[in-house]
A and B are shown apart, each in its own frame.
Chain A
Amino acid sequence: ETGVTQTPRHLVMGMTNKKSLKCEQHLGHNAMYWYKQSAKKPLELMFVYSLEERVENNSVPSRFSPECPNSSHLFLHLHTLQPEDSALYLCASSQVGIGLAGGISYNEQFFGPGTRLTVL
Chain B
Amino acid sequence: AQKITQTQPGMFVQEKEAVTLDCTYDTSDQSYGLFWYKQPSSGEMIFLIYQGSYDEQNATEGRYSLNFQKARKSANLVISASQLGDSAMYFCAMRILGGAQKLVFGQGTRLTINP
Chain A positions within 8 Å of B, measured between CB atoms, are 31, 33, 40-43, 45, 48, 50, 55, 88, 90, 92, 94, 96, 106-114, 116
Question: A31: which of B37, B91, B101, B106 is its contact (CB, 8 Å)?
Answer: B101
Name the CB-closest residue of B to A108. B47
Chain B positions within 8 Å of A, measured between CB atoms, are 4, 33, 35, 37, 42-47, 50, 52, 91, 93, 95, 100-108
**B contacts with A: majority SS:** strand
Pairs A–B under 8 Å by Cβ, sample size 29: A31-B101, A33-B101, A42-B4, A42-B104, A42-B105, A42-B108, A43-B91, A43-B93, A43-B105, A45-B102, A45-B104, A48-B100, A55-B100, A88-B43, A90-B43, A90-B45, A94-B101, A96-B101, A106-B35, A106-B50, A106-B52, A107-B95, A107-B101, A108-B50, A109-B47, A111-B37, A111-B46, A113-B42, A113-B43
Q: List A contacts of B107 (CB < 8 A).
A: 40-42
CB pair A110–B47 under 8 Å, yes or no, is: yes
CB pair A107–B33 under 8 Å, yes or no, is: yes
Q: List B contacts of A114 (CB < 8 A).
A: 43-44
Q: List A contacts of B52 (CB < 8 A).
A: 106
Q: How far is the CB of A31 from chain B (nearest CB, A)?
A: 5
Q: List A contacts of B43 (CB < 8 A).
A: 88, 90, 113-114, 116
Q: How far is the CB of B41 from chain A (nearest CB, A)?
A: 11
Q: How far is the CB of A42 from chain B (nearest CB, A)?
A: 4
Q: Within the assembled complex, what's the spacing in Å between the Cα atoms of A43 and B107?
A: 7
Q: List B contacts of A107 (CB < 8 A).
A: 33, 95, 101
Q: Within the assembled complex, what's the spacing in Å between the Cα atoms of A31 and B93?
A: 18
CB pair A42–B35 under 8 Å, yes or no, is: no
Question: B101: which of A48, A111, A112, A113 is its contact (CB, 8 Å)?
Answer: A48
Q: Within the assembled complex, what's the spacing in Å between the Cα atoms of A64 and B42?
A: 24
Q: List B contacts of A43 (CB < 8 A).
A: 91, 93, 103, 105
